[in-house]
Amino acid sequence: MPAEITMPQLTDTMTEGTVVKWTKKEGDKVKSGETIAEIETDKAVMEMELTDSGTLAAILVGEGHKAPVGAVMGLIAKAGEDPHDVKKNAGAAKSAVAKAASGEPAAPAKATVGSSGGGGVATLAAASRGEIHEPDEVGHGATRETPTAVPPIPGNGNGRRVFASPLARRIAADRGIDLNQVTGSGPGGRVVQRDVLEFVPSAAALPTEQGSAPPPVQAPGATQVIVMTKMRSAIAAALLKSKQTIPHFYETIDIDVEHLAKLRERINSQLEKEKVRLSIADFLTKAVAATLVRHPALNARFNPEKSEITRYADVNLGLAVAIPDGLIVPVLRGANYLGLRDIRTRSADLIERARAQKLKQGEQGTSTFTISSLGTFGIREFSAIINPPEVAILAVGSAEKRAVVRGDQLVARTMLTVTLSADHRVVDGATAAEFLRTLKGMLEEPGMMLV
């Protein structure tokens, strides 16, 4: 009997998915663990892995089409089965899928939620995180409805109509890129996000004066109406729900990381030959993971409908990643078991693949605690919005030299400000304060991370 490829539930809130791309075609040999498709969920574009091996006999849900969770997307002929016979008998399954999905293909992608980021940096999206991701395409190379042509953005040279996703057009406008010069890789040559991000202008296309091309200038008194994308709508809904339903409270603490900064320099000098360079964020990740082990009340998820709190022994940290027009939150699983070198290499890999929309199932939406950092933007401190069902999130500012009092002396020290947002339904103020005190102790005396 052929194996069914069914639409997986890749996120907690996913009810249906859109097939962005099939990575195999009918007749190809496939094996368990291989990526078979890229699926757009309510939060992100994620890779789907196979659990069976054989021959891909039939694709029942085409690129750009939706299917509910659990619906059959394709069939795999196992050893001894004829793929042609399997495909012939796939008619009933295909009709069922078409009926469930109303037989209509998904509209050309305006956005997809996902995370970077990203919740999330999981789908939530505090101002600094969210599992929210906006894919720029519905599929590659599939024969589907021809994408609707969109007017050229201001400044495009030849004025011809360009097929492009809304996100691609937005990024191009922000960067002053002429879409006429970008080769599209989407369906029908449609320009998608990846095409714009990877575009390298020719010498002739570069501005004649030094500097980047200026943004289009609107006439005085002009207005611009921007229709919210699916991703932005999801962010708005998630933020509103979190603030309306979760009684947030906030606690802020200043941490002296002068010793940590010097330790980082010494360790990096030793790791130079390995081409590994640790950041303050890596030490923070290590300290947060160790602190959560000692304070499991914050390494938890809350189900208000069942009045259940689930605490976890493993620390799965959500790391906020900024992407164009949104945020996405890949998950560093088992962070409490990782050393600093592994934290650096694994988090760097996760962040890179999050930005490239290459996260796999389980690498997003399964965090037990989230770290949201705006330090690279020079933000000293801020408060983040909790990403349910998590019960807390840590907002991290920039590590900077500040004038502080030590004894009776005013001295310059490297200081870091963090703010913990917690759900008062399940976390008390004293519990949150103890968490911050332990975290402060570990960062001010890094050796405590080893105890």
Taken in order of first residue, the domains within the chain and their CATH numbers are: 3-100 (2.40.50.100), 135-208 (4.10.320.10), 232-450 (3.30.559.10)
Note whether 266 and 428 are within 8 A (CB). Answer: no
Tokens of 221: 């008194």
Question: Taking the CB of residue 40, how many other CB atoms lie within 10 A of it?
Answer: 32
Q: Can you give the pLDDT at residue 186?
A: 74
Q: Can you give the pLDDT at residue 201?
A: 64
Q: Can you give the pLDDT at residue 213?
A: 47
Tokens of 197: 């991000």
Note down pLDDT in tens along the chain; length 451 residues. Answer: 899 999 988 776 678 888 988 999 999 999 998 999 988 876 667 888 888 899 999 999 998 888 999 999 999 999 889 989 998 888 766 666 566 555 444 444 333 333 333 333 333 333 333 333 333 333 333 333 333 333 443 334 444 567 777 667 767 776 678 888 888 887 667 787 778 777 776 544 444 444 444 555 567 888 888 877 666 777 788 889 999 999 999 999 999 999 999 999 999 999 999 989 999 999 999 999 999 999 999 999 999 999 999 999 999 999 988 877 677 889 999 999 999 999 999 999 999 888 877 788 778 888 999 999 999 899 999 999 999 999 999 999 999 999 999 999 999 999 999 999 999 999 999 999 999 999 999 999 998 888 7
Would you give the DSSP letter of residue 438? Answer: H
Question: Where is 437: in which H helix or E strand?
Answer: helix 429-444
Sole residue written with tokens 């030094």: 210
Q: Can you give the pLDDT at residue 166?
A: 61
- Region of 367 (left: φ > 0; alpha: ψ -120 to 50; beta: rest) is beta
Burial class (CB in 10 A: 0-12, 13-18, 19+), 312: middle
Tell me the CB-side half-sphere exposure of residue 161, using CA atoms within 13 A: 6
- Measured N-to-C along each axis, helices 280-294 and 258-271 cross at an angle, to the nearest 10 degrees, of 110
In 7-17, which positions are buried (b, 16+ CB within 10 angstroms) versus exposed (e)?
Answer: bbebbbbbebb
In 416-448, which positions are buried (b, 16+ CB within 10 angstroms) versus exposed (e)?
Answer: bbbbbbbbeebbeeeebebbbebbbebbbebee
Query: In terms of DSSP bridges, do strands 392-396 and 400-406 run parallel, antiparallel, or are they unpaired?
Result: unpaired
Note whether 38 and 20 are within 8 A (CB). Answer: yes
Residues 6+ apart with CB under 8 A from 127: 382, 384, 385
Cis peptide leading into residue 389 (ω within 30°):
yes
- Measured N-to-C along each axis, helices 429-444 and 258-271 cross at an angle, to the nearest 10 degrees, of 50
**Residues tagged active-site:** 424
Q: Can you give the pLDDT at residue 368?
A: 96
In degrees, to the nearest 5, what angle opens at C-alpha 318 toward C-alphas 313 and 324?
170
Helix (H, G, I), strand (E, B) or coil at 239: helix
Using CA atoms, how far apart are residues 234 and 226, in angstroms rounded to an integer?
Answer: 16
Q: What's the sign of the alpha-carbon dihedral 369, 375, 377, 383?
A: positive
Question: Taking the CB of residue 308, how many other CB atoms lie within 10 A of it?
Answer: 10
Q: Can you give the pLDDT at residue 165?
A: 73
Q: Can you give the pLDDT at residue 261?
A: 94
